[in-house]
Amino acid sequence: MDGTLGRGALLNATAAGRSAVEQSDASALKVALPGVTDTLARVLGGLDVPSTLWGISVASADNTAQINAWLAYCNTYRVPCRLVGATSGAYRACGIVIPGPDTILIGPGSASATLLTATVGCAQDFITVPAVASTNTRGLRMPTIRDIVIDCRGYQNTAGHCISLPEDTINSYGTGIQIFNAYIDYAPKTGIYVGKNRGSGVLNNVMVYHYGETGLTLDGASDWNCLASNFSGNLPNNNFAFAGVWIKAGANSTFIQCRSYQNLYGLRSEYASTSTPFTWISGDLSANTRNGAFIDSGNFTQAPVISGTRFTNNSLEATNTYSDIVVSRNTGAIITGNIFMKSGSTISKYLIETVTPTGPIVASGNSFNATQPSYMPYGTAVSNDFPNVPIPATDSGFTSSVGTGSYVNRWSTAGGFGANAAGQYTTALGRQVTAQVNHSVALGAYSYARRAGLAYSNAVFSTAGDTQVMAVDLLNGITTDGSTAVRLTSDMQTAGASNTFNVVENNKKLVLSGIRIVASDPASTDFAVWDVDLVAITRGTTAASVSIAAYTPVVTAKARTGALSGLNPPSIAADTTLGGLAVAATGIAGTTLHWSFSARTVELK
């Protein structure tokens, strides 16, 4: 008998029956209906059926058959099945089947010691929710599991799922499941697996932990809603699962206040379709060994959304290797209002990284940890041929680049096609430009800043930088006496490969013009200025072959005041060790002088 019809009949029967239904009192129902069993009385009253009334109350090596018969009975009469406290081991099973869309399985709550436990050696999915064997699913309720703890650690089958919704091969949009207030632990493969065409499911306050591969896999399922749920793949021996949430196909699933941590990937989407795979709002994608989120759109225009989410301490596998968010082969991703933080020992490679995109993404309103700016090294987007990503205002970087070795360092900025801001505090804007060393700037097309200056080019013969102008070239130094020559360099450190005028390619020429040398006494108003019209240096096949070509440079004193009126200009000579130009200054005894050497340099091969 249908439980709903039985309840209605009782309401229209005796006063005792009506009172029993209103008070959900099965004992009173038995009195109202003499000769009716406890179970049938509850069914007739539309009440739940406790597992103890079905004889599932004592320990057993495997109670699967009894549990499945109990669930089938509840489904037939459309009343809930309720697990109640029982002897440890009473709920051992393997291959539980949710028999239909009207099934409601209620547990005693996540704090209870009453568990649904996988039988030792179980070699199939622990709970299966079959697809409806009908082409008419309209009006059917989704099955429901709530207030329950599921422990799958007894598995032998490493490919098994704790809860499995296999593909619906009849309906293109079949039914899902509702899971509320559940704790799902130690799935050998997937905590919750949802196959193709199993649409419109709900997860609310579901904790999925210690799974072998993924916490939730949507494999062609659409319109799922996840609320306030956690996915943690922290396995024994400090191992990590593949992904907390893996969207392999499907569309329009929504995650609100969900967390995914201690996986290789907190969220991974791999779906080649024009459909938007997901919206992730106000959650946490942190403490994952690789990426907080990895989105691959398969070269389709999609608009996945990540908003209001915290990213902290990703790239645990190797610092400065994996990004918090990766957007791959995508046009239209929306990344807004997120916060990126750092509190552990590792840092992410980038905050937002795009890889081989098909068009622009939108990133706006994201914030970075202002209390620890030294830990926020990277900004948004790498390999973005069509950047539409605003540059963050402070303590971060932005790059749009392609090709091997395009790594952005602290507080660097790049934009354009193939721009590579490779040094710290560098800027690279244009096409295939590289700012290689700290504090350098590369602009235009194919320029290559190998020292701290501003490189510009608009063409290339064969390799980047083989024709370019160093529009700003600046060397600096400090002298404190009148006997020690000090080598001027861009960073005032020991002369090396990247802080002096070195010719790094064979048969290349450096022509310096508009040279101005200035010495200044920081303790007075005295200064000295010299000009040099032109210096040309060439390199053969080795550093030792570098020479000053064509003439000996002439230094012209333009102004010398006070105590610096007799100061000698720096010496200019070929450096056959590093393969470049050596500029060295000697000051005045007992006086600290600051020196600068600036030039406009043409580099040509």
Give the model confidence (pLDDT) of 560-588 as tens digits: 889 999 899 999 999 999 999 999 999 99
pLDDT at position 441 is: 94
pLDDT band at 273 (very low <50, low <70, confident <90, very high): low
Burial grade of 29 (CB within 10 A; 0-12, 13-18, 19 or more): buried
Higher pLDDT, 171 or 389: 171
Compute φ and ψ for 587, nearest 5 degrees. -95, -140
Mean pLDDT for 11-39 is 45
Residue 352 confidence (pLDDT) above 90: no
DSSP string, 129-151: -PPPSSS--TTPPPPEEEEEEEE
Compute φ and ψ for 65, nearest 5 degrees. -60, -45
Residue 175 confidence (pLDDT) above 80: yes
Region of poorest pLDDT, from 5-9, 280-284, 459-463: 5-9
pLDDT at position 387 is: 36
Higher pLDDT, 162 or 102: 162
Specify the pTM.
0.67
pLDDT at position 282 is: 95
pLDDT band at 346 (very low <50, low <70, confident <90, very high): confident
Higher pLDDT, 104 or 366: 104
Compute φ and ψ for 212, nearest 5 degrees. -80, -35
pLDDT band at 113 (very low <50, low <70, confident <90, very high): low
Residue 448 contacts residue 405 (beta carbons within 8 Å): no
Spatial neighbors of 43 by CB under 8 A, at least 6 apart, are 1, 3, 6, 49, 77, 79
Give tens-digit pLDDT for 393-416.
333 334 333 333 344 444 677 777
Domains of the chain: 78-419 (2.160.20.10), 470-604 (2.60.40)
Residue 341 confidence (pLDDT) above 70: yes
pLDDT band at 279 (very low <50, low <70, confident <90, very high): very high
Residue 66 confidence (pLDDT) above 50: yes
pLDDT at position 221 is: 92
pLDDT band at 48 (very low <50, low <70, confident <90, very high): confident
Give tens-digit pLDDT for 297-325.
887 778 899 999 999 989 888 877 898 99
Distance CA 351, CA 306 (A): 13
Distance CA 59, CA 71 (A): 19
Residue 205 confidence (pLDDT) above 80: yes
pLDDT band at 25 (very low <50, low <70, confident <90, very high): very low
pLDDT band at 133 (very low <50, low <70, confident <90, very high): confident
Angle CA 282–112–48, to nearest 5: 95
pLDDT at position 11 is: 38
Average pLDDT for the chain: 81
